[in-house]
Amino acid sequence: MKSRLFKYCILIIILSLFTSAKAQESIGLRFFGLSIHPHGEAENASIMPLRLDKEAYFVQNLGGILSYELPIYKDFILTKTAIALYSDCAAQLGGFVHLGLRARIFTLGRHSLYGGLGPTLIFRKNWLKIPEYKDPGYFKGGQDAIFQHLFIWYAGDFDYRYKITDRWDLACTFVPGYPDLISLSIGFNYRLR
């Protein structure tokens, strides 16, 4: 099932490269800034120096997300590629690479909402090297590895956009990784043509 889904996503993306869509390609830049742990991170809160509360329900992150969107069908169905680098919840290097499909959910005047889904590889500097860290076992990578990683087949987001001009949108991205992590980022999208 996972292999078939991955092949289907790759096929759609390759086909989209050869379409002459009338919609516009766009690039986006988001400033990654807030991680929300819906149930808190009491066990590991002590290793999160930028937590905004005692049990790390809210943790500030510093970094950016660069994305590229290519329309498959007008501005309704698109492919999205994104790469991110940031300071994770333990204030160490982290990031992700995402490749997925997205669709416009609605447009109302200058307001639009998009939703996307696709495989994502998340990486971070190895937390197992932090003495106080209590490992819940989500990430792969042993004690001696420089980085840990987590691969998610079905990662997604919601992207709210407010159209400033014909080319520029103000954007807020919400990643609903409930029950473990919800993240928020803000930035801009720029249409290339």
Tokens standing for residue 28: 């986006």
Cβ count within 10 A of residue 30: 22
pLDDT of residue 178: 85
Q: Where are the beta strands (DSSP E) in the chain?
A: 26-36, 58-73, 77-87, 93-108, 111-125, 147-163, 168-177, 181-191
How high is the pLDDT of residue 149?
Answer: 98
Strands 168-177 and 26-36, by their bridges, are: unpaired
For the chain, residues with pLDDT lower than 70 are 1-23
CATH code at 2-191: 2.40.160.20
pTM: 0.86
User: Beta partners for 116?
Assistant: 102, 157
pLDDT of residue 75: 84
